[in-house]
Amino acid sequence: MSYARLVVFDLDGTLVDTAPDLVAALNFVLAQEGLAPVPAQSARKMIGAGARALIERGLERDGRVINAEKLGRMTEDFIAYYAENIAVESRPFDGLVTALDVLEARGCRFAVCTNKLEWLSKRLLDRLGLSSRFAAICGADTFGISKPDPAILRQTVARAGGEIRSTVMVGDAGPDIGVARRAGIPVIGVDYGYTDVPVRDLSPDAVISHLSELPAALELLASQRQVQ
């Protein structure tokens, strides 16, 4: 039996490769301001802190600073465009469904804890046929808090019917490692996601390069915990 009775995943860059559709939405709102598009590879490193932060980072790239009111309007336009184009190119990372099947057979349950808005997260997972796999899908607006505030992870665990002592977090970036550390939960980093700091440099408890490696990584954490 795997130690992790509940596995909590980040969404963007961990479960689903959402970058193509997020970058398309970013470049849509930048084009409305007469600005050049952000190259896909550069934009991947800007993802992870929500729509507003992504737009701010896109503007900063051109040295642009705008007031809060205009940023708010751009964020609304971004969300409206993204909501209608949320799964045009976004796809689960390779190996996800198989890994979930293996872990579910071992008695694991799953949840999502993301800084994406909850309704957008659910829409995306619905479109990809994945929503039913998760006992809880919680976003930045679910509890009014975002990663790395540990309250969002603790409340996600509670909503999923889990317990902190038997939960493991899986994520690709600093907010994921930070929220797990602050909540006292072991964390596995994925090195294929969206971050400007290599995930190994953030010192998660384990690092995987493909979701097929997740069951073994969870077993390793379990064995390490039993030794302690």
Catalytic residues: 10
Name the nearest CA neighbour of 4 among 212, 178, 218: 218
Beta strands in 121-205 (DSSP E): 136-138, 167-171, 187-190
Task: Cite the DSSP H helix spans in 14-92.
Answer: 19-32, 40-44, 51-61, 68-84
> HSE-up of 22 (CA within 13 Å, CB side)?
32
Give yes or no for a contact between 118 and 81, defined as CB atoms under 8 angstroms apart: no
Identity of the residue numbered 146: S
Q: For residue 33, give both structure tokens.
A: 């301001």
Question: Cα–Cα distance between 115 and 186 in angstroms, integer?
Answer: 19
Name the one residue in this structure whose structure tokens are 């550069």.
Answer: 42
Beta strands in 66-186 (DSSP E): 91-92, 109-113, 136-138, 167-171
Helix (H) or strand (E) holding 153: helix 150-159
Give yes or no for a contact between 152 and 145, defined as CB atoms under 8 angstroms apart: yes
